[in-house]
Structure 1
């Protein structure tokens, strides 16, 4: 009897853990971020059904604050909006950077406006501000049945 129960539990555990690679960061809202080794400071946040811009910034903020242990005042820039993943063929992601390279456009406060954007390269928020979206993001995913 114990053996029959152990196999389904093991299969469930493997299915949950198999989706997150060892170097990935799993945020509180269950979205995933991963570094892009080709360029220092670049990382991507992978697409998730029903996720909006604050959800992506939540993951980016947590990755920078807790995964990389950088300060809350570290700025996080959108490098590229939703598109094919840089590191995972077949997946889609948003590319961010915590390093301000010259090829990332400058954006004034007036240009940023009041809406959070993941589609405008150069849009930025601090890591602390970004991570502050996580509680609401997690609650929203739980209400919709997309988080555990």
Structure 2
């Protein structure tokens, strides 16, 4: 019986990645959302999304823009300059901390707190998050 479980587990580990790729999970698949980054005055960038309003979508947009377009280093911190507003559906980010904002690190990914921040690499990493492809 123990041998059967081991063989079944091994077969599953071999077949599941191929099956997941065939149905569209994983990195490299164009997700069903898009972000648009618009430069504003004073080094502020506004991120708008379509297809998802999940916080990771906004962070993905600004992280990818910072690294690919602005050519920032992966360790550059990105700060929320103006938090998410439901009616507007945009978030404004800056590469410098907003005056008077609490920039202490948090444990959750949010777009609702001015001063929340992460590195450009961490933000861009959400572009490759498998959950993004599933529309969660």
Q: Over alpha carbons, which structure has the higher Rg? A: 2
Q: CA deviation at 1:92?
A: 3.4
2:118 is the alignment partner of 1:125: yes
The Cα offsets for residues 50-106 of structure 1, whole Å up to 9 and x where unpaired, read as 32111110111001110111111111001111239xxxxx953101001224x2513
Unaligned runs of 5+ in 2: 1-29
- Specify whether residues 96 and 129 from structure 1 end up closer, same or farther in structure 2 by C-alpha distance, changes over 3 A only: same
Unaligned runs of 5+ in 1: 1-26, 85-89
TM-score with structure 2 setting the length: 0.66
1:105 aligned residue: 101
2:85 is the alignment partner of 1:95: no
TM-score with structure 1 setting the length: 0.61
**What pairs with 1:1-148 in structure 2 (closer than 5 Å)?**
29-36=33-40, 38-39=41-42, 41-83=43-85, 92-101=89-98, 103-109=99-105, 112=106, 114-136=107-129, 139-140=130-131, 142-144=133-135
SS of alignment partner, residue 85 of structure 2: strand
* Aligned length, in residue pairs: 105
